[in-house]
Structures are given as structure tokens and as C-alpha cells.
Structure 1
Amino acid sequence: MTLPAAPIGAAPISQTERAQRAREAFDHLSAPADALVLFDDQFIFYYSGFAIFPTERPIALLITRDGERTLFVPRLEREHAQQTSEAEHVVDYPEFPGRTHPAKHLAELLTRQGLDSARIGVDHDGYPSVMGYDGPPLSVQLPQASVLRVSRDLDHQMSLKSQTEVALIRESARWGAHAHRLLQDYTRVGETETAAETRATAEATAAMTAELGAGYRGQNKWMSGAVALYRGQIGPNSALPHAMTTGAAFRPGDTLVTGAGAAVWGYISELERTMFVGEANAEQRRFFGHMLNLQDVAFEALKPGHTCAQVDEAVRAYYEREHLWDHWRHHVGHSLGQRIHESPFLDLGDDRLLEPGMVLSVEPGLYVPGLGGFRHSDTILITETGMEMLTDYPRDLDSLILPA
């Protein structure tokens, strides 16, 4: 198996860039705030570099207007936060629920910072319900403060990818394509999806970690290593956009829908392809052709200054023109980067403008009960003049027919 071409670069996000994000977060707010208190693990990683799996023990990141960052963590995370985060301060509490609830400890921290009557921007009004967590809202703990939801504003900042972020997503796409090639090679009649997925993912991950070196870290909760899989979209079940793995064996005539990507320093990409076991029949070819056309319509509409809604509307016009509504299930795509799904969304209900630096999936699909699903997904970058494909894998029918 030929390995992917030489890497463009896979350096992690620098401390300078993360610190700049924290300072500039306030510039993205639609209403002024004196401080931010963020509970979402993805925002915490984005601004401080602290990669965590959320549990019932609340974790929060406090950012003041000068960009100073304080991590609020349970005692068991103190050393982890001190060793791996870029926050200037780490403050810990004993345990959840504890004799004193963590929400009260957080309120006391904010009071010591002089923020008990401040304007505080939050992603959630207190730590959300995760793994059995139960606690009072921040607005109840600090009744004199003005607690403002700022998630949409910070999502906009996160959607505008830096050059380093784009380089990491390119690297993810490179290894996702390698994993997908292995998956395609190992998919054979009589083999199970689980065996093909496991073999392809293990080999691709080993190759990626060897090339990126001992310092490489995935740092992404949605994906581990270089991954290629089917998620149960085998044969008739490929007509279920979010099927789940059943361990099915491949059979001649199956329509297959894949998924691939890789975790590279917290960033991921999305690659999906529709494949066939043996020569495609007339109906499979017809729907495959429409699926390619739908994706091409979306590519043409992806330009700075267009709205997300305009992209979805252009694609919907094709469904209408070709009488394909019975096979429609979802919008065109979504932003991605740290999260497997981010905002904005390529949906007729999302009027946000496309801007240079946004990275999105493009994945309009067709779903035909009894026959299968037809969906390619590619990761693209909005540029100053249009879009650039970050994923690089054959889209044409002949390249995606497997031996029967």
C-alpha cells in the first residue's frame, strides 16, 4: 500500500495562537461582557489547549477581558490541567457532589475575581447535565451578575479557521484518505464490515503515528487515530443515513456508504464515499449520478458572500427539478474542525454568510429503501474567490466499484 504524499505540516496550535483567541473572543461578542465562563469541553480546548472527556465533575474556563485564563477543575484533574493546559491559573475543588457543591466553589472564585455583579458571557448557564451532574445555574449562584449566552458568537470565531488549523485539517484529510483506501482494499464478499474496518483503521493509525512521530497527539474525543468505517451502512441499511454497525457480511450487489477521517492535534476532517460490490445496476447508476450532480450544485454555490441557506436552496432546487424529494433526508452539510459537527450549517434555515476560512462538509444524499443510500462527503475550505477541496479521493463510479 502506497502511503499518502509528504505532509503539509502537522504542528499543534501554538500557545501564542490560543492566547490570541482568548483575547479576541470579546471582539466577536454581540453584547459587551466583562468575562467569559465556558463549560463546553470544546471551547475549553479551543481557548486553553486542555483536552478532556467531560464527566459529572464540572470543569469551567474563566477568561477575563485581558485574555487571562483560569481553569476550574476537580482535584483529580489538577495535575493534568497544570501539565497540559495553557491557562495562566488552575483552581481546583474537592469533588462532586462534595460537602460544598462545585457550583458554589465556582461562584466564590468569581466573587474573589470581583465578578459577582459583572456581565458574564457563558455557553451554558452553569455546567450542563453530563453523566448525572445536577447543579444550580450560574445566574442563581450570582444573582447580581448579568449572565449572557454567547455560544453563537464564539461559534462564529471558531468557524474562521487559521492557517494552522487548515493545515491540521488537511493532514487529517490526508490520513483519512489513506484509511479509506485500505478499507476499500479490504472490503470483499464474505468479509464482515467489522473485520474490514478494524484492519484498515489499525494499519492506517499505525502508519500515521509512525510518520508524525512520538510527539503526535490526536486530542479529539470524536475520533481516535486514522479511521475508516461503514457504521452499518451496508446493502439496504445504507439507506439509513445514521445506521449503526451490525457486523454484516458483504454481498454481491451491495450499496455501501463509508466514512473516514483522522484526529490530528484536535482537528478532524470528513470523507465519505458510495461504493458498490460488483458492477452497479441501472438504478444504482442512476441514483449515483444524481448524487454527484447534487454535490456539484453545492460546490458551485459555495462562495464567500453567499449564505448557508442559498447553498441548501440551490441543492433543493435540483431535488425538485428531478422529482427526488422521496429520497431527501437532510441538509447539505455543516462546519467542522474540532467538533465533528460545528456551526454554521448548510441549511435553508441558516442565513449566516459564508466567509473565507470556514471549513465545511458537503454531503447531500439520496436514500432509496430496499436499494441503498447514495452519499459522498467532502471537506472544503471557503476561499476569497470560492472553495477549495481539502479531501482528495476519487468521486467517479468506476473508481468505487469493488470486485464481486
Structure 2
Amino acid sequence: MERAVRWDRLREEMAREGVELLALVPGANLFYLTGLHFHRMERPIVALLPREGEPALILPAFEVEKAQRAPIPWRLFPYTDAEGPASAFHAAAAALGGRGHTIAVETLGMRVLEWSLLAEAFESPTPLPAEPLLARLRMVKGPEEIAAIRRAIAAAEAALQQWLPEVRPGMTEREATRRLIQACFAAGADALAFEPIVVAGPNAALPHATPSERPMGPGEMMIVDFGVIMDGYVSDLTRTFVLGEPDPETARIYEVVREANAAGRAAVRPGIPAEAVDRAARAVIEAAGYGPYFPHRTGHGLGLEIHEPPYLVQGDRTLLTPGMVFTVEPGIYLPGRGGVRIEDVVVVTETGGESLTTFPRELRSL
């Protein structure tokens, strides 16, 4: 029933946007609407969802059985490696009415490969970005989605708790990362949400640093940013620890970030724009004199993907609605010295916001 409701809402949004056809490639949106997961590869797979009528699916012939298992009334257009995909795209276009369509495409996901085949088959269709209408479908999570995110968070927090006693000064960032990955799977994760970040010292001054063979030294701040996938949904958790004892300024910076995180979470309530949460967290850091050292947005939505709307940043005026799930992750990064980030996942409720992450936020020495 849930998927049928999603399709009904999709067609309403397509009518609202004047979209005749939605083209999806393998990824979160296709999974959300159909339950199907395909690997993205050199063989194109495109689902064509018309505003009216049955959808079409262009796919390699060896994927047909998988598609038939989904409760979707597909018109399937398979192709073999020997044939190539062009004829299947033309057949699908003919079945959907041929030329002149307005097609909404995933601008962040569709490759030139798929678009060139669509453009030829539909004879120069008019492309539109699909992200606005898909965001309206996916931003508000249902109870089952939130439950899956809770399970992903529980697995991540259990992994972090298991892993921390293994970390010590002198361990390299990569070795610590390998051990964290093992802990994630030991905690029951289906997969990793993204490549974990475990960095310390000057590397922690880079918000998206890559773990290296650098040994982590005494007194350094260590940022740990990771997440796991459970039942298709992700978690995203960041905590910062100190290897030994922090110097006074580092301890002060940590407290500023912790207060900013608390202010961002406290600001969450239905009816306010997403940018208001960013303002609340950023104000704390700016008042402490570290505004220039907070270079990124305060947070991002998450669900099937690690980054999705809404975005907690100046300019995003999306009104918060019960069921929206996003991160609150302020940080301070001092070039060449280190950084601090504290990240929680929050769901908007009828009266405010609930932090789905519960791992302690007090500074912990390892």
C-alpha cells in the first residue's frame, strides 16, 4: 500500500510540474518508488514513469527476472550485450508515444550515456530537473522509514562504543578506520553509508579528510565521522575525541561546538525554515569568535541517501515538517592544527525535534 501511495503522490507532483515522463536511473529514487536495486554499470538501465499509463523499464536481458519480481506493472524492454541498448530505447519511446515529451531527469544521477540514448529515441525531448518533485516526495519520512533510520543509528552507536577502547595514540588513521569498519559489521550493519573518516591533528582541520598512514599523536583531537545502512536507510554520526589531554584552547573550542550543536537541535520545530537551524548553531560559533572557521552548512537531510533535502544552510527556506530527518553538525576547523565536529540526527516532531542519536557529547579522552 505504501508504494501505491507514493506512485499516486508522484503523479500528482508530475501534473503540478507539467512533467509527462520521469526518467530514473539505478539509485535511491528508483528504489524508493519500486523497491528495485540495480548496480550502475556500463549497461544502461532506465525506468520511464509516465504521468498516465504503465511504466517502461529498459534493462539488460539478464536483469528481467529481477524486474518481474517487483510488484510493478512494467512494460519491459530488454536488450542483450550483442544487440546493444539503442533499439530497446527506441521501442520504449514508441510504446510511450514517441517524440516531443517533457522528461524529468535526475540531474545528479543521469549520465550522458543514458541521456543521449533518450534524446535520440524521443527525438530531442525537453529535459527538466526531477529533483524538486522527488524531494517533495521523500523529505517527509513515514514511520517505517524513521524506524529503519533508528536501527541504522543504533548499529552505528553500538559499533562506536565497541571500537573506542581499541583506539590509542600512535595508531595510524587507516588502522583505526579498518577497526571501525569491522566494528560496524560486527554490530549488524548491512553496509557502510560512506567511507568512514577517522582523522586527527592537522588532518582533522579538513572537514572531509581521508584517513592516512599518519600516526595519531598525544593531545590531538580525533574526528570520527561514519554511518551504516540498515534496510536501505542510513545513519550519519560524528563525534570528536582527544587522545590524552587537550590544551586549553582545544578544550574551549570543543565546548563552543557542543553548545552550537545543542542550540541547533533546540531550534528545531515545525513551521520554521531550514535556514533558521543553521542560524541558531552558527550564532554560537560566531559569538565565540570562530565564525570564519565554520565553513560548511549546519546539516543535511538523510534517509535513503546520506545527503538529501532539506539542507540546513542560509537560503534554504524549506519549512520544517513533522517527519523530516536531518543532521545537525556544526564544526570549527583551525588550519594546520585540528578541528572539532559534533553531529546528531534529528527528526522533526509535532512539537519540536527529537535527537535520534544519543551517543554522549561530552569530551572524552582516549
* Same fold? TM cut 0.5: yes
Is the counterpart of residue 88 in structure 1 residue 73 in structure 2?
yes
Q: What amino acid is the match of 2:104?
A: G
Report the equivalent of 2:118: 138
Give the drift of 1:190: 2.6
Q: What amino acid is the match of 2:4?
A: A
Moved more, 376-385 or 102-111: 102-111
Is the counterpart of residue 177 in structure 1 residue 157 in structure 2?
yes
Q: What amino acid is the match of 1:153?
A: L
Is the counterpart of residue 123 in structure 1 residue 106 in structure 2?
yes
Give the drift of 1:366: 0.3
Is the counterpart of residue 74 in structure 1 residue 50 in structure 2?
no
* SS of residue paired to 2:347: strand
Give the drift of 1:359: 0.6
CA distance, structure 2, for counterparts of residue 122 and residue 115 of structure 1 = 17
Q: What amino acid is the match of 2:275?
A: A
Contact 2:299 2:326 in 1 (8 A): yes
CA distance, structure 1, for counterparts of residue 362 and residue 66 of structure 2 = 47
Q: 1:148 to 1:191 in 2, by over 3 A?
A: closer
Instruction: Choose which of 32, 37, 57 in structure 2 pairs with 1:51.
Output: 37
Is the counterpart of residue 161 in structure 1 residue 141 in structure 2?
yes
Contact 1:40 1:123 in 2 (8 A): no
* SS of residue paired to 2:8: helix
CA distance, structure 2, for counterparts of residue 149 and residue 326 of structure 1 = 34
* SS of residue paired to 1:343: strand
Give the drift of 1:343: 1.4
Q: 1:248 to 1:88 in 2, by over 3 A?
A: farther
**For residues 3-402 of structure 1, what are the structure 2 equivalents within 5 Å?**
16-29=1-14, 30-39=16-25, 41-65=27-51, 68-83=54-69, 85-89=70-74, 90-95=76-81, 102-103=85-86, 105-114=88-97, 116-124=99-107, 127-129=110-112, 133=113, 136=116, 138-143=118-123, 146-208=126-188, 218=190, 222-223=193-194, 229=196, 231-397=197-363, 400-402=364-366
CA distance, structure 1, for counterparts of residue 192 and residue 18 of structure 2 = 32
Q: What amino acid is the match of 2:288?
A: E
Q: Which runs of 5+ in 1 are unaligned?
A: 1-15, 210-217
Give the drift of 1:164: 0.3
Give the drift of 1:145: 5.2
Give the drift of 1:247: 2.6
* SS of residue paired to 2:346: strand
What is the aligned residue count?
Answer: 364
- Superposition RMSD in Å: 2.6
Contact 1:312 1:346 in 2 (8 A): yes
Give the drift of 1:260: 3.0
* SS of residue paired to 2:23: strand
Contact 2:77 2:91 in 1 (8 A): no
Contact 2:27 2:38 in 1 (8 A): yes
Q: Which runs of 5+ in 2 are unaligned?
A: none
CA distance, structure 2, for counterparts of residue 179 and residue 356 of structure 1 = 29
Q: What amino acid is the match of 1:123?
A: E
Contact 2:223 2:341 in 1 (8 A): yes
Give the drift of 1:40: 5.1
CA distance, structure 2, for counterparts of residue 253 and residue 125 of structure 1 = 41
Moved more, 334-343 or 296-305: 296-305
CA distance, structure 1, for counterparts of residue 142 and residue 298 of structure 2 = 24
TM-score with structure 1 setting the length: 0.82
TM-score with structure 2 setting the length: 0.90
Q: What amino acid is the match of 2:235?
A: S
Residues 240-282 of structure 1, C-alpha deviation per residue, up to 9 Å, x if partnerless? 1011111332321111000232211110111110100112220
Contact 2:192 2:228 in 1 (8 A): no
Q: 1:26 to 1:284 in 2, by over 3 A?
A: same
Contact 1:303 1:354 in 2 (8 A): yes
Q: What amino acid is the match of 1:172?
A: A
* SS of residue paired to 2:285: helix
Contact 2:267 2:276 in 1 (8 A): yes
Q: What amino acid is the match of 2:95?
A: R
Give the drift of 1:323: 1.9
Contact 1:18 1:48 in 2 (8 A): yes
Q: 1:159 to 1:103 in 2, by over 3 A?
A: farther
Contact 2:193 2:227 in 1 (8 A): no
Give the drift of 1:355: 1.2
Give the drift of 1:66: 5.6
Identity across matched positions, percent? 32
CA distance, structure 1, for counterparts of residue 11 and residue 231 of structure 2 = 25
Q: What amino acid is the match of 1:351?
A: R
CA distance, structure 1, for counterparts of residue 138 and residue 226 of structure 2 = 23
* SS of residue paired to 2:332: strand
* SS of residue paired to 2:17: coil
